Amino acid sequence: MLLNFPGSEEVNFGAIKPEIDALLQQGVVAYRSDFSRAETFFKQALDAAPDELATYFCLYKIHTYHGDLDVALDMALSGLRKAAAQAGWPDDWRRWTPQNPFPEGAGRFALYTLKALAFIRLRREEVAPAREILDRLKTLDPQGEVGWPVVAALCEGVAG
């Protein structure tokens, strides 16, 4: 799964249907110059394959970059629910338990998206909810494999 796509050539979205990958790749390319066109490609992918987690990632990422934090929040929450269901986890992230070994696939995506949700909450100046998520991530991902310590440092800077 990609971590950053502005400026990248082709993105490895993992094992997804070729037609969905094509839409996401087109969205990545379009994002460099045309936000609306990129969003259209990503929404087409979501409509065609609503269980494909990479599409939620693309949508919450571009909306966060664009400052559309309400839409980013909605996409992150939707992706989080979808990933939790695919991983067999409860809908409420507060009820998630640490996994050993560290999860891959939908579980890893869920944790990564939880980190993104903390970042979006922080950008929305919702420090307490961001902190609650980050505190949970400390338990779920003590090694910081999904990158939550970076967001935690930002949170401390804002709250400090």
What domains can be seen in the chain, in order of their start residue? 18-159 (1.25.40.10)
User: Is a pLDDT exceeding 90 seen at residue 126?
Assistant: yes
pLDDT in tens, 44-88: 999 999 999 999 999 999 999 999 999 999 999 999 999 999 999
- Decide: 71 and 61 in contact? Cβ < 8 Å: no
**Encoded tokens for 148:** 């939550």
Please tell me the predicted confidence (pLDDT) of residue 8.
52
pLDDT in tens, 28-39: 999 989 999 999
The whole-model pTM stands at 0.90
Q: How far apart are CA 25 and CA 60, in angstroms?
A: 16
Backbone φ and ψ for 143, nearest 5 degrees, come out as -85, -10
